[in-house]
Amino acid sequence: DLGMESTSLDDVLYRYASFRNLVDPITHDLIISLARYIHCPKPEGDALGAIEKLCRQLTYHLSPHSQWRRHRGLVKRKPQACLKAVLAGSPPDNTVDLSGIPLTSRDLERVTSYLQRCGEQVDSVELGFTGLTDDMVLQLLPALSTLPRLTTLALNGNRLTRALLRDLTDALRDPRKFPSVTWIDLGNNVDIFSLPQPFLLSLRKRSPKQGHLPTILELGEGPGSGHETQDEALGPEDPGGGPETPTRDQEGRETVGATQT
State the pLDDT at residue 50. Answer: 81
Under DSSP, is residue 125 helix (H, G, I), strand (E, B) or coil?
A: strand
Tell whether domain 68-206 is in CATH 3.80.10.10.
Answer: yes
Yes or no: say if 37 and 57 are a contact pair by the CB < 8 Å rule: no
State the pLDDT at residue 220. Answer: 41
Please provide residue 255's backbone torsions phi and psi, each rounded to the nearest 5 degrees: -110, 150
State the pLDDT at residue 235. Answer: 38
State the pLDDT at residue 230. Answer: 34
Please provide residue 74's backbone torsions phi and psi, each rounded to the nearest 5 degrees: -65, -40
Under DSSP, is residue 202 helix (H, G, I), strand (E, B) or coil?
A: helix
State the pLDDT at residue 19. Answer: 55
Q: Domain boundaries in the chain?
A: 9-66+221-255, 68-206
Task: Spell out, as residue ranges, where the chain has pLDDT lower than 70.
Answer: 1-7, 9-25, 44-45, 61-78, 208-261
State the pLDDT at residue 260. Answer: 34
Task: Report the C-alpha gap between 199 and 184 in whole angstroms.
Answer: 10
State the pLDDT at residue 208. Answer: 63
State the pLDDT at residue 259. Answer: 34
State the pLDDT at residue 27. Answer: 73
State the pLDDT at residue 245. Answer: 35
CA 88 to chain centre: 26
Model pLDDT for residues 196-227, shown as the tens digit of each residue: 888 888 888 887 655 444 433 333 434 444 44
Model pLDDT for residues 88-120, shown as the tens digit of each residue: 989 999 999 998 899 999 999 999 999 999 999
Could you tell me which of 126, 136, 206, 132 has the C-alpha nearest to residue 171?
Answer: 206
